[in-house]
């Protein structure tokens, strides 16, 4: 058969089987998913660091507002303390949410790494004992 008429596919003598090709495709998908999870994890951890700094700052602001509230004993000082406390609580909640997202991504990553290890161990033609 003329080379330009040959169907695309494995070259003569290539021993790739359908199962191996499927495993390779799944391995590629797992690796791509791992890369996306790693990018997401970097983003979430950066957000977590920013929120941790904000929570620390807002805790100081709330503490100062509470001191002013106790000393001044005015409605304005009380309102400023409540506002500061509300901001602190909101940011603390966002920080906890970011931490739980990071943990979920770590769990997904660990599961995919285990799957990748299984796929690599099951590859045909491995010389490992």
CATH number at residue 97: 1.20.58
Task: Report the alpha-carbon distance of residue 79 to residue 71 in Å, rounded.
Answer: 14
The CA-based diameter of the chain, rounded to the nearest angstrom, is: 97
Residue 20 is predicted with a pLDDT of 57
Rounded to the nearest angstrom, the gap between the alpha carbon of residue 40 and the centroid of all alpha carbons in its chain is 4
When pLDDT is cut at 50, 70 and 90, the band that residue 21 belongs to is: confident
In-domain check, residue 96? yes
Residue 122 is predicted with a pLDDT of 83
Can you give the pTM of this predicted structure?
A: 0.74
Instruction: Find the domain containing 61 and state its range.
Output: 28-117
Per the structure, the count of domains in the chain is: 1
In-domain check, residue 80? yes
Inter-residue contact 105 to 37 (CB < 8 Å): yes
In-domain check, residue 20? no
User: At how many degrees (to 10) do helices 75-122 and 18-72 cross?
Assistant: 160
End-to-end CA distance of the chain: 42
Overall average pLDDT of the 106-115 stretch: 96
């Amino acid at each position: 058969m003329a080379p330009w008429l040959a169907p695309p596919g494995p070259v003569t003598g290539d021993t790739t089987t359908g199962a191996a090709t499927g495993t390779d495709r799944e391995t590629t998908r797992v690796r791509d998913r791992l890369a996306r999870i790693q990018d997401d994890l970097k983003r979430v951890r950066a957000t977590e660091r920013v929120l941790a700094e904000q929570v620390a700052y807002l805790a100081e602001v709330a503490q100062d507002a509470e001191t002013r509230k106790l000393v001044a004993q005015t409605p304005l000082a009380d309102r400023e303390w409540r506002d500061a406390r509300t901001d602190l609580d909101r940011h603390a909640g966002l920080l906890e949410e970011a931490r739980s997202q990071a943990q979920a991504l770590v769990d997904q990553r660990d599961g995919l790494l285990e799957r990748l290890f299984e796929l690599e161990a099951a590859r045909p033609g491995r010389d490992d004992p």
